[in-house]
Structure 1
Amino acid sequence: MRSRRWSIAASGLGLTLLATACGGGGGAGDQVEVFSWWTGGGEEAGLNALIERFEEQNEGIEFVNAAVAGGSGTNAQAVLEGRLQSQDPPDSFQGHAGASLQDYIEAGYLAPLDDFFDEQGLREAYPDQLVEQISYEDSVYSVPVNIHRSNVMWFNPSLLEEAGVDGPPETLDELVDALEAVDAETDAIPMAVGAQWTVDHLLESVLLGSLGTDAYNALWEPGADWDTPEVAEALETFETIMSHTQEESAAEDWQEASRRVSEGEAAFNVMGDWAAGYFDELGALPGEDYDWAPSPGTDGTYMWLSDSFTLPAGAPNEENAYSWLELVASQEGQDLFNPLKGSIPARSDADPANYADSPYLESALAEWQAGPQLAGSFWHGVTVGNRWKNDIDTAVGLYLQSGDLEALNAALHEAAQSE
């Protein structure tokens, strides 16, 4: 195993975190502890495949799978925060790439990975705009292992035909017309939503589709101006779309909204591409029970989010942590993990043959490798940290109660000014 030249001691963090973890177990050098919330479904299967490959490549190194179940990662993040605060870090932990890691970086919990990126050739393997959007003050702190797309519109082909809608709408105006047609000609829900976060998720696609990629990305600069006619117009479109949804329900998460589409209860749903795997679980047939297209107005742009792995400052088994990061960063590792997870690699050099069994993944990878424009998902932590995200969620929740669109616009503008 090669000698590392980018040790935490040379990272410039100036920290004096403990070099060993009191709760990790085992002696330094003979194990690697990796923390995640991947405990079920395709994500667990993908993780297990990576673990098996790691152990094959690193004989004598025990892999400690410190996954924590529940709460879609919420439980794991609470446990992780406690460990980091008590200077008991795992050797690597899962997180969403981008601004969601900002609090950890500012607290000094993460080591920069610039030298690692250079040594592994990752600046060439990943799209330039991806590296730019995951950087914080010109340094990178995580290794993206996959890409999910947020701006996907799922639809029921039979309901569109029944409503007289000729194919998936390509613009927001066409979407509004299609929703009105479904409302008038069928008994189905025009646009299905679930719990409140799915409305936040819908909002980001409407903003992107209305404003365009550059203007959308500019919204997430600290102090960005949301008090503009363009944002007001986007929010008016959002309000119109919301008038064609059923009432959001905290008891119904994204799966229920997706199920409504495949079973013919709803015509449209805007949800991330993890829905494709759920449709497979339901036994729904692509092209018959459901189909997909980019959210209206966003063709050619990937609104992305990514699972990634980090190197905590004070990792007790730093050398082994780097070996883990090498695997998840590699073409081999990403092509091993992603077909099982139901996502595509963050790298641009994946082998398409590994994704040919999934019509959705095959098409998604082809689009990714064609070099789309990139826009980060705010809801999934790419563009904003936790405080800003929570402020937006609060504003949306108040809007759902009051229906006051001007108050929503004002609250979104205030949230940006607070950064």
Structure 2
Amino acid sequence: MLGRTGNRKTAFAAMALSGVLAASAAACGGGDGGDKNSDKSEVEVFSWWTGPGEADGLAALKADFEKKNPGTKFTNAAIAGGSGTQAQAVLASRLQNRKPPDSFQGHAGAELLDYIKAGQIEPLDSFYAENNLKSAYPEQLLQQITYQGKIYSVPVDIHRSNMLWYNPSILKDAGVSGAPKSIADFITALKAVKEKTKKVPLSLGAQWTADHLLENVLLGDLGADAYNALWKPGADWSSPAVTKALTDYTEIIKYTTAEAASTDWQGAAKAVVDGKAAFNIMGDWAYGYFTGTAPNGLGKKLDTDFKYAPSPGTDGTYMWLSDSFTLPKGAPHRGGALAWLKEASSKEGQDLFNPKKGSVPARKDADKTLYKGYLEYAFNEWNKPGVKLAGSFWHGVNASKKWHTDIDTAVGLFLQNKDMAKLQSALVDAAKNDAE
């Protein structure tokens, strides 16, 4: 989302130059400097990391933090359920009542705008300068999490949103030679699966997976630069290029299951490895689900039960999302919070956390030898010279919560009426409403 910030609520990526200048100014006395409330006796870390893998990763971070900060009590305030929805509801209440945790988890990017505009979290530019983080993180990533020249969170991990999971046996039966490389090829493959097999061409889950599919089709048709431009001030969502992408999206939806809304992403992904569906487009957290052991994993085998590739048309682009941590204003134990942020942003901390979580480090200097299987592939892609980054709007990078909700509403209506023109009109309105 590199571009001017303007006055748009969700213009979340400032120009690189202004970001660098602002960071330099903040380093000389930014909002996160000073000695006020430097209490390091405790740190309460608020997250939704309670599931398999992520809870193990958090435990590893906690152990390393306690080793490095023996005088600081670590309080794990993780709340389970709803992929963070329940945790965010509790967090909103605490912030409103001015009882913030010392640090809380949030998706890096525009999802944090409500907290920023409400004055509930502090900029971290001085923290970045003091810990040499601007050289540790990819420049494109920093550009895409910068708002009006300031950075407000510390990314811990990176997930990839634009992944295609497919069943090689079904593709063979359909006469499809491999993973489709373009949206046009994808539609052809879906048609072949429908005509030549009795399998579901593309498995879809709850409504949010249709939003997730939409961002992948937009990226596949438009390319990284034009996709990123959609989230800048004055973007034209009524353009012929967007119309073409939405036309393709409308066609692709025809090959999904009618009962899709009855299951979440796990059920839709499972259909592929169980031999019931040919394709599923989902983030790379699906890999851990496929290969993990029971009761939380399926114990499936790569290259036998499933294969993977970038979603059609997106090879060379990493559509990313990231869990990150913040410094709330009025944190009761500010010193503890800064010590936690140092742990979460460190090479050692990220290399302890990510192999267990099933993600890759946001830092560029991580230990490659720790990442095996799909994670080795993801690590190489994330660090590949020339890779382009595109933020996932559904997972908090590009769109504010309001814009996110408006898009979701538009997709929900589209799934009922299948009217592409109304969908595009609603997306145009959503962008305009967010800019007001």
Cα shift at 1:250: 3.2
Q: Is it true that 1:253 corresponds to 2:267 in the alignment?
A: no
Query: In the alignment, which residue of structure 2 is the partner of 1:384?
Result: 399
1:11–1:111 Cα contact (<8 Å) kept: no
Distance in 1 (CA, whole Å) between partners of 2:371 and 2:49 is 21
1:349–1:369 Cα contact (<8 Å) kept: no
Work out which of the residue numbers 340, 360, 363 in structure 1 matches 2:377: 363
2:175–2:192 Cα contact (<8 Å) kept: yes
Distance 1:12 1:329, change over 3 A: closer
Query: In the alignment, which residue of structure 2 is the partner of 1:291?
Result: 307
CA RMSD of the aligned region, Å?
Answer: 1.8
Cα shift at 1:170: 0.4
Residue type matched to 1:392 in 2?
A: I
Q: Is it true that 1:104 corresponds to 2:118 in the alignment?
A: no
Distance in 1 (CA, whole Å) between partners of 2:368 and 2:50 is 27
Residue type matched to 1:376 in 2?
A: G
Query: In the alignment, which residue of structure 1 is the partner of 2:207?
Result: 196
Query: In the alignment, which residue of structure 2 is the partner of 1:39?
Result: 50
Q: Is it true that 1:229 corresponds to 2:240 in the alignment?
A: yes
* 1:120-269 matches, cutoff 5 A: 120-269=131-280
Residue type matched to 1:318 in 2?
A: R
1:192–1:269 Cα contact (<8 Å) kept: yes
1:195–1:248 Cα contact (<8 Å) kept: no
- 1:184-208 Cα offsets, whole Å, 9 max, x none, are 1111100100000000000000000
Task: Name the SS for the 1:282 alignment partner.
Answer: coil
2:26–2:125 Cα contact (<8 Å) kept: no
- 1:146-176 Cα offsets, whole Å, 9 max, x none, are 0000000000011111111011110111101
Residue type matched to 1:355 in 2?
A: Y
Residue type matched to 1:360 in 2?
A: Y
Cα shift at 1:120: 1.3
Work out which of the residue numbers 293, 310, 317 in structure 1 matches 2:326: 310
Distance in 1 (CA, whole Å) between partners of 2:170 and 2:132 is 47
Task: Name the SS for the 1:100 alignment partner.
Answer: helix
Distance in 2 (CA, whole Å) between partners of 1:377 and 1:122 is 23
- 1:111-132 Cα offsets, whole Å, 9 max, x none, are 1001111121111111101000
Cα shift at 1:351: 1.0
Task: Name the SS for the 1:250 alignment partner.
Answer: helix
Note the residue ranges of structure 1 that are not aligned, 5 or more in a row.
1-5, 21-27
Distance 1:329 1:287, change over 3 A: same
Cα shift at 1:417: 1.0
1:190–1:244 Cα contact (<8 Å) kept: yes
Matched positions, count: 401
2:108–2:153 Cα contact (<8 Å) kept: yes
Distance in 2 (CA, whole Å) between partners of 1:214 and 1:389 is 20
Moved over 2 A (4+): 10-13, 248-251
Residue type matched to 1:66 in 2?
A: A
Distance in 1 (CA, whole Å) between partners of 2:259 and 2:131 is 45
Query: In the alignment, which residue of structure 1 is the partner of 2:342?
Result: 326
Distance in 2 (CA, whole Å) between partners of 1:227 and 1:337 is 42
- 1:4-29 Cα offsets, whole Å, 9 max, x none, are xx999x6459xxxx969xxxxxxx43
Query: In the alignment, which residue of structure 1 is the partner of 2:10?
Result: none
1:328–1:334 Cα contact (<8 Å) kept: yes
Distance in 2 (CA, whole Å) between partners of 1:30 and 1:119 is 22
Q: Is it true that 1:347 corresponds to 2:368 in the alignment?
A: no
Distance in 2 (CA, whole Å) between partners of 1:142 and 1:29 is 20
Cα shift at 1:57: 0.9
2:194–2:201 Cα contact (<8 Å) kept: yes
Task: Name the SS for the 1:32 alignment partner.
Answer: strand
Distance in 1 (CA, whole Å) between partners of 2:375 and 2:139 is 22
Distance 1:77 1:61, change over 3 A: same
Distance in 2 (CA, whole Å) between partners of 1:47 and 1:248 is 36
Work out which of the residue numbers 79, 86, 89 in structure 1 matches 2:97: 86
Task: Name the SS for the 2:112 alignment partner.
Answer: helix
* 1:46-65 matches, cutoff 5 A: 46-65=57-76
Distance 1:350 1:29, change over 3 A: closer
Note the residue ranges of structure 2 that are not aligned, 5 or more in a row.
1-24, 292-296
Cα shift at 1:251: 2.7
Q: Is it true that 1:415 corresponds to 2:430 in the alignment?
A: yes
Residue type matched to 1:367 in 2?
A: E
TM-score of the aligned structures, taking structure 2 as reference length = 0.89
Residue type matched to 1:347 in 2?
A: R
